[in-house]
Amino acid sequence: MRPGSIIYFLREAFKSLSRNRLLSIATISTVAISILILGFAVLLTINAGALMQDLESDVEIVAFLDKKLTKSQITDIKQDLTAVSGVKSVKFVSREQALAKMQEKYGGNEYNLKETLGKNPLPHSYEIKADDPHNVPQIAGQVSKIDGIYKVNYGQGVVERLFKVTRWVRIVSIVFIVLLVFAAVFLIATTIRLAIFARRKEIYLMKLIGSTDWFIRWPFFIEGVFMGAVGGLIAILILAAGYSSLIGHMDTMFFIPLVTSPKILRNIYIGLLVCGATLGVLGTWVSLNRFLDV
């Protein structure tokens, strides 16, 4: 494409934007609303995914040891546990540490479990983390077969339901975002179609004098990119301000972990800006084709 043609297309695009200000503002507003809803859904999905990942990463296996084991036997069991495929880490918890944890969790400062129980009934144990939390049930089955371990606990039943819920949350989130993208394309295409309909005679005359389809399309595409990018930028500014305010209030009111990584948020906002420009082009393409069939 020649530099002269590019300048011509840019001039025609911005001339059209200026001449059809109301329709341009309507299109930019539609893009902004669509990207704002889409951005909200993306942030919600990412935070839900991060929460699900945190819940999954907290899943661990507790292997309780026989009380008659010697120190060397306990050490040997740790080696056996480390050798199990899929095990990420193995941590020994003595019966004293286990009682201290229980005291901190249930007794507090007002109730002394050690005095109440008289003696410590808890056994030594190993806390086992898996490389992949979804493999916890299989690893627990292998751990239970090791000599010296009399019981294995990993929240049987609850863990399986947790994984099922997290899987469905991810599937529903992806489907929801895809539906929002299609809805955004439809809304933007409808709005742009009104702008193009107002210029149908201009398109018709350009076709009659021999202009090619692409010669007609380029100014409209530039308009679509510009309106999509501006609408996306407006949505990003609103979304970023609202999300920053939400993070501040969550820190002071609720203990709910939110995604705060600048890199992740920056990538999301850049992606939404690109998405806005892309939606502008798609909406223009869908709306323009029917008017080029002269």
**Structure confidence by residue, pLDDT tens digits, 16-63:** 777 778 878 888 888 888 888 888 888 888 888 777 777 777 788 899
Q: Structure pTM?
A: 0.67
**Domain locations in the chain as residue ranges:** 3-55+162-292, 60-153
Across 7-16, 198-207, 217-226, which has the greatest mean pLDDT?
217-226
Distance, CA of 46 to CA of 53 (rounded, Å): 10
Q: How confident is the model at residue 240 (pLDDT cuts 50, 70, 90)?
A: very high
**Structure confidence by residue, pLDDT tens digits, 64-102:** 999 888 889 988 999 999 999 899 899 999 888 887 877
CATH of 60-153, one of 3.20.20.70, 3.40.50.10190, 3.30.70.3040, 3.40.1670.10: 3.30.70.3040
Distance, CA of 31 to CA of 37 (rounded, Å): 10
